[in-house]
Amino acid sequence: MSVAKLHAVQDNAAMPTVLAGLEAWFDRRLDEKLAEREANRIPSLAIIATKGTMDMAYPPFILASTAAALGWNASIFFTFYGLELVKKELDIKVSPLGNPAMPMKMPFGPDWLKRINMPVPTLAANLPGFESLATAMMEQTVKAKGVPSIQELRDICVESGVRLVACQMTVDLFNYSQDEFIPEIAEWIGATSYLGEAKNADICLFV
C-alpha cells in the first residue's frame, strides 16, 4: 500500500505523527538514492554521422573524443556519406559549392589579409580544381591554428575507446567493400540496432 493510501486510511486515526515521520524519511531516502544514482551514472553520447565533407567531419570526432576524455561512453554511427570518415584512406574535402556560409579566408599572409572573407561566386566554385584549392586552404588554416586534423582526431577517438559503428546498408548501396574501412569499426549494423543503442543516450546528435 502506498504512503498516500496509508495516509488516506489513517487520516483521522491516532498515527498521524508516525505517518508524517515515515513520509519525511521516505522523501529524504528517495533524494539520497537519486543523488547517489546521479553521481555514479556515466553519461553517454550517441552521434549519427551522415556527411563526408571536412566541415561536417569535425563535429562528430571533436565531440566524441572530448566525451571520451570526460569519461563518458561515446559512440558514432557512420551512415551514408558519413562512411567516408571511416575509410582507411581518408580523402575528405570541403567545397564552398552548396555551402554558402563557408568563409573563404587566406591561410597565410599578414593578419589583415587573413581576416578578409572572400566570397566565392558559385560559378567560380564550379571550376575544376576549386574544391582541392579550398580544401588545401582549409587544411592550412586548421594547421596554423593548432586545430587537429581529422585523421588525428579519429586516431584519438579510436585510442580513447569511442565505439565506432557503421551502416551495412550503405556499404551495399554504394558497392563498397568492408575492407575499405578501418578495422576499428566495432560492428556493422542497421537502423534498428543503433536506435536501440541511442535510446538510452543522454545526448543524441544527428550530424
Partner 1 sequence: MDSNQTLDARGLNCPLPILRTKKSLNAMASGDTLKVVATDPGSLKDMQAFCAQTGNTLLSSQQSGDDYEFMIRKA
Residues forming contacts to partner 1 in the complex (CB under 8 A) are: 62, 65-66, 69-71, 145-148, 156, 160
Q: CB of residue 68 vs partner 1: minimum separation in angstroms? A: 8
23 CB-near residues (< 8 Å, 6+ apart): 3, 7
Nearer to partner 1 by C-beta: 15 or 70? 70
Smaller CB distance to partner 1: residue 149 or 193? Answer: 149
Of 62 and 205, CB closest to partner 1: 62
User: Could you tell me the smallest distance in angstroms from the CB atom of residue 145 to partner 1?
Assistant: 5
Residue closer to partner 1, measured from CB, 3 or 35: 35
Q: Are strands 163-167 and 73-78 parallel, antiparallel or unpaired?
A: parallel
Minimum CB distance to partner 1, residue 103 (Å)? 17
By beta-carbon proximity to partner 1, the closer residue of 120 and 156 is: 156
Q: Least Å distance between CB 115 and partner 1?
A: 17
Q: 84, 78, 53: which is closest to 64 by C-alpha? A: 78
Could you tell me if residue 158 is left (phi over 0), alpha (psi between -120 and 50 degrees) or otherwise beta?
Answer: alpha
Residue 95 is classified by DSSP as -
- Beta carbon nearer to partner 1, 5 or 41: 41
Q: How far is the CB of 156 from partner 1 (least distance, A)?
A: 6
- Return d(Cα 162, Cα 183) in angstroms, integer: 14
Nearest distance from C-beta of residue 155 to partner 1, angstroms: 11
CB within 8 Å of 174: residues ≥ 6 apart: 83
Helix, strand, coil distribution of the chain in percent, nearest 5: 50, 15, 35
Q: Which of 110, 107, 128, 130 is nearest to 120 (CA)?
A: 130
